[in-house]
Amino acid sequence: MDIFKDKIILITGGTGSLGRAVTRELLKKHKPHSIRIYSRDEWKQWQMRQEFGDDMRLRFLIGDVRDSERLRRATEGVDFVIHAAALKQVPICEYNPIEAVRTNVDGAVNVINAALDNNVKKVIAVSTDKAVHPVNIYGATKFAAERLFVQSNSYRGAKRPTSFAVVRYGNVLGSRGSVVPLFLEQRKIGRLTITDERMTRFWITMPEAVFLVLSSFEIMRGGELFVPKIPSMKLVDLARTIAPRAKLKIVGIRPGEKIHEALITRDEGRLTYDLGDRYVIFSDSLPGWRKSLSEYRSAVPVVRDFEYNSLDNPEYVAPAGMKKLLKIV
């Protein structure tokens, strides 16, 4: 059964890398009634309209997640919401912390309220590994947004049947926020900049990210935080894979960066279950979370003191594997 058939879907930040990829997948393999692309950049909307050939199922809505009234209007009649809008650049958020809060935290509240007021069926918010043990403004705002979406399931009831869940993953290969485009550009001059030789990161391909988001709509009950099983790699190995003959220049860690990232903390481990291709983290502060867990018949509790980080991750991308993923010849 295709849960997206004849449904109306709203994507905040819909002109971003993930929004475009999700839109492409929905239009190609599903039969939605319409997809509402909600973003504040008219130029990117125009570009996306050209990319998709004026598909009549697309609706382009100019709006900012900071604008609660516009969001409330945009979600009227919507069945599913994918919340991908955010300020994401770590240095920019560090220098503009209040703006980061207004978009990433206040914007999350506005999405939640609009979805509740309009009885949207399901909402999934897109998060990041930087929300785990946050050491920068971006991570802190995304951590707050995660908790807001998960705990907003407590507002559910007969009159407000909306379910909220979160997906959390690492760097998307080839997205605008990834280091890959930078390395590919620097390869032309034969010198790549590395922040720290020890640095490791989680990596996910765009098709994997799209599958995680869309498939999570099918299995979510409300209150879950889904984490994919994805590989790690040292940034220095990634650089050498992309440009094996280039010189590497160590420039030092930027403000707010970590050496290694985590997707699941040890404290979250006691509420984490293995679903096969992903982990699911429950919130024990939500009434009825054990009932939700009982509906996941294939769920297996993880080992005691479980932690999922990019340094100790048993799945490591070898240079040959990364080269294949990047389609580098």
Q: Is the pLDDT of residue 256 over 90?
A: no
Could you give the number of structural domains in the chain? 1
pLDDT, position 177: 65
Q: How far apart are CA 139 and CA 130, in angstroms?
A: 5
Q: What share of the chain is helix, strand, coil (3-state, %, to 5)?
A: 40, 20, 40
DSSP H helical ranges for the chain: 17-29, 42-51, 68-74, 90-95, 97-101, 107-117, 137-151, 180-186, 206-219, 235-242, 266-269, 289-294, 319-326
Mean pLDDT over 232-260 rounds to 88
Measure CA 184 to chain center. 23
Spatial distance between the Cα atoms of 236 and 322, rounded to a whole number of angstroms: 12
Would residue 176 count as lying in a domain? Answer: no
Of 89-103, 201-215, 253-267, the least confident: 253-267
List the single range of 5-14, 118-127, 235-244 with lowest mean pLDDT. 235-244
**pLDDT grade, residue 328 (50/70/90)?**
low
Q: What is the pLDDT of residues 144-201, one digit of tens each?
A: 999 999 999 999 877 779 999 999 999 898 676 678 888 888 999 999 998 889 999 9
Per-residue pLDDT reduced to its tens digit, 79-88: 999 999 999 9
pLDDT at 222 over 60: yes
Residue 328 lies in a domain: no
* Contact between 53 and 101 (Cβ < 8 Å): no
Specify the range with the lowest mean pLDDT, choosing from 21-25, 39-43, 141-145, 246-250: 246-250
pLDDT-based confidence at residue 329 (cuts at 50, 70, 90): very low
Residues 6 or more apart from 58 whose CB is under 8 A from it?
23, 27, 34, 35, 37, 48, 49, 52
Site of tokens 């990596």 = 203
**Residue 288 included in any domain:** yes
Place of tokens 């504040």: 40
**CATH number of domain containing 280:** 3.40.50.720
- Domain enclosing residue 12, as ranges: 8-170+205-228+263-307
**What's the mean pLDDT in 30-45?**
96
Query: Strand pairing partners for 226?
Result: 167, 280
Domain membership flag for residue 200: no
- 245 occurs within a structural domain: no
Please give the positions annotated as active site.
Answer: 130
Largest CA distance in the chain: 62
Average pLDDT, the chain: 93
Average pLDDT over residues 312-319: 87
Q: What is the pLDDT of residue 64?
A: 98
